[in-house]
Amino acid sequence: MTVLKVGIIGIGRIGKIHLGNLLNMPDVEVVAAVNPSKAGQEYARKLGVPNVSDNADIIFNNDAIDAVVIGSSTDTHTEYIKKCTASNKAIFCEKPVDLSLAVVKETIDIVNTTKTPLMMGFNQRFDPNFSQVKKALKAGELGELHSLHIISRDPAPPPMDYIKTSGGLFKDMTIHDFDMARFIAGAEVVEVFAKGHNRIDPAIGEAGDIDTAMVMLTFENNATAVIENSRKSVYGYDQRLEAFGSKGMMRTENPLKTVNQYYNESGKQESRNMDFFIDRYEEAYRLELRAFVDALKNNEAFPVTGKDGLEAMFIAEAANKSLKEGRPVKLTEVN
Ligand SMILES: NC(=O)c1ccc[n+]([C@@H]2O[C@H](COP(=O)([O-])OP(=O)(O)OC[C@H]3O[C@@H](n4cnc5c(N)ncnc54)[C@H](O)[C@@H]3O)[C@@H](O)[C@H]2O)c1
Can you list the domains of the chain with their CATH numbers?
4-116 (3.40.50.720), 125-284+312-333 (3.30.360.10)
For a pLDDT cut of 90, what percent of the chain falls above it?
Answer: 99
In the reported structure, the alpha carbon of residue 18 is separated from the centroid of ligand 1 by a whole-number distance in angstroms of 11
- Mutation probe of ligand 1 site: the residue of 9, 13, 74, 179 with most atoms within 8 A of C-beta: 13
Digit-coded pLDDT (tens) for 271-320: 999 999 999 999 999 999 999 999 999 999 999 999 999 999 999 999 99
pLDDT in tens, 200-253: 999 999 999 999 999 999 999 999 999 999 999 999 999 999 999 999 999 999
Is 73 exposed, middle or buried (CB count within 10 Å of its CB: 0-12, 13-18, 19+)? exposed
| Whole-angstrom distance, CA of residue 248 vs CA of residue 212 | 30
Q: Give the mean model confidence (pLDDT) for residues 256-265.
A: 95
Q: In the predicted model, what is the mean pLDDT of the chain? A: 97
pLDDT given for residue 1 in this prediction: 59
Angle at 309 between CA 18 and CA 217, to 5 degrees: 120
> If you measure from the C-alpha of residue 77 to the centroid of ligand 1, how many angstroms do you get, rounded to a whole number?
9
Residue-wise pLDDT for 58-74, tens only, equals: 999 999 999 999 999 99
Please give the number of the atom of ligand 1 that sits closest to the Cα of 121: 1
Whole-angstrom Cα Rg for the chain: 20
CA of 141 to the centre of ligand 1 (A): 39
Interval 88-121: pLDDT, tens: 999 999 999 999 999 999 999 999 999 999 999 9
3-state helix, strand, coil in the chain (%, to 5): 40, 25, 35
35 CA to centre of ligand 1 in angstroms:
10
Instruction: Name the DSSP class of 312.
Output: H
Candidates 289, 291, 259, 292; CA nearest to 273 is 259
pLDDT over 70 (residue 334) = yes
Q: Which atom of ligand 1 is nearest to the CA of 123?
A: 1
Q: ∠64-78-276 over CA atoms, to 5°?
A: 95
Ligand 1 shell residues, CB under 6 Å: 9-15, 34-37, 40, 71-74, 76, 94-95, 121, 123, 277
Q: What single DSSP character describes residue 123?
A: G
